[in-house]
A and B are shown apart, each in its own frame.
Chain A
Amino acid sequence: MESVQAKQPPTTTPEQQPQKLKPVHRMLLGFTGQEDRKIFNQIPAHVNKVHVDGLEHTKHDIVIKQVKDVLEAQSIGEICVRAHTAQSKLRKLDIFKDIQFFIDTSKGKQSGTNDYEVIFEVEERRLGGGIHGEVGTNDGAVRTAFKFLNLFGRAENVNMEYSYGTKMTSGSLMFSKPLFENPDILFRTGGYQHHGEYPWSGYRTIDRGLLADIQFPSRLGSHTLSCEGVWRELGCMNRTTAFAVREQAGHSLKYALKHIFARDHRDNNILPNKGTLFTCTQELAGVDDKVLGFVKHNMEFQAFKQLPLSTVFQLSLGGGIMKPLQSGTEVSIQDHFFLGGPLTLRGFNINAVGPSSDGNALGANAYWLGGLHLYTPLPFRIGKGGFDDHFRTHMFVNAGSLGNVNFDSNMKEDLQRLAETYRLSYGLGIVVRIGGLARLELNYCVPAQVRQGDSSNVGLQFGIGVTFS
Chain B
Amino acid sequence: MASLLADAFAVEIGAKEPWPDNVSLYQPFEVGQILLPDFAACLGVKTYLSMCGLNYELVFKKNAEHMSPSGKVPFMHIGPFLISEFDPIVAFVNTKGFHLSSHLEETERGEMRAYMSLVDNVLLNAELYLSWCQEDVVTEVSRPRYGSVYPWPLNKVLSWKKYYEERRRLKAMGWAQKTLEEVCEEVKTCCQALSEKLDKNLYFFGDNPSELDALVYGHLYTLLTTVLPVSRFAEIIQEFDNLSQFVSRIDSKYHSKDLQR
Contact = CB atoms under 8 A, between A and B. Distances in A.
Interface in B21-80: 61-63, 65-67, 69, 77
B174 interface: no
Contact of B7 (A239, A252, A253, A289): A239
Contact of B150 (A238, A243, A253): A253
A14 interface: no
Interface in B132-190: 150-151, 154, 157-158
Interface string A232-249: 001110110001001111
Given A231-B157, A253-B154, A288-B151, A239 B82 contact: yes
Contacts of B151: 253, 288-289
A57 interface: no
A23 interface: no
A453 to B, nearest CB: 18
B3 A251 contact: no
A235 B66 contact: yes
B141 to A, nearest CB: 21
A249 B3 contact: no
A250 interface: yes
A221 to B, nearest CB: 36
Contacts of B65: 250
A250 B67 contact: yes
Contacts of A249: 63, 66-67
A251 B82 contact: no
Nearest to A243: B77
Contacts of A289: 151
A252 B3 CA distance: 29
A288 B66 contact: no
B67 A288 contact: no
Interface residue range, chain A: 10 to 19
Nearest to B63: A250
Considering residues B62, B67, B158, which has the most beta carbons from chain A within 10 angstroms of its beta carbon?
B67
B2 to A, nearest CB: 11
Contact of A251 (B61, B67, B154): B154
A247 B154 contact: no
B83 to A, nearest CB: 11
Contacts of B158: 251
A252 B69 CA distance: 19
Contacts of A248: 63
B74 to A, nearest CB: 15
Nearest to B81: A239
Contacts of A288: 150-151
B8 to A, nearest CB: 13
B69 A251 contact: no
B158 to A, nearest CB: 6
Contacts of A243: 77, 82
Contacts of A239: 3, 7, 69, 82
Nearest to A231: B154
Contacts of A252: 154
A234 B62 CA distance: 14
A209 B61 CA distance: 25
B163 to A, nearest CB: 15
A468 B7 CA distance: 41
Nearest to A287: B151
A231 B156 CA distance: 13
A43 B151 CA distance: 69
Contact of A250 (B3, B62, B82, B157): B62
Given A239-B69, A243-B77, A246-B67, A251 B150 contact: yes
B3 A247 contact: no
A7 B173 CA distance: 86
Contacts of B62: 250
Contacts of A234: 66
Interface in A264-304: 288-289
Contacts of A238: 3
A243 B22 CA distance: 14
A469 B240 CA distance: 74
A248 B64 CA distance: 10
A443 B217 CA distance: 65
A357 to B, nearest CB: 12
21 contacts: A231-B157, A234-B66, A235-B66, A236-B69, A238-B3, A243-B77, A243-B82, A247-B67, A248-B63, A249-B63, A249-B67, A250-B63, A250-B66, A251-B63, A251-B66, A251-B150, A251-B154, A252-B154, A253-B150, A288-B150, A288-B151
Interface of A: 231, 234-236, 238-239, 243, 246-253, 288-289
Closest 9 CB pairs of A and B: A250-B63, A250-B66, A249-B66, A289-B151, A249-B67, A288-B151, A253-B151, A246-B67, A253-B154
Given A288-B151, A289-B151, 7 more contacts: A239-B3, A239-B82, A246-B82, A249-B67, A250-B63, A250-B65, A250-B66
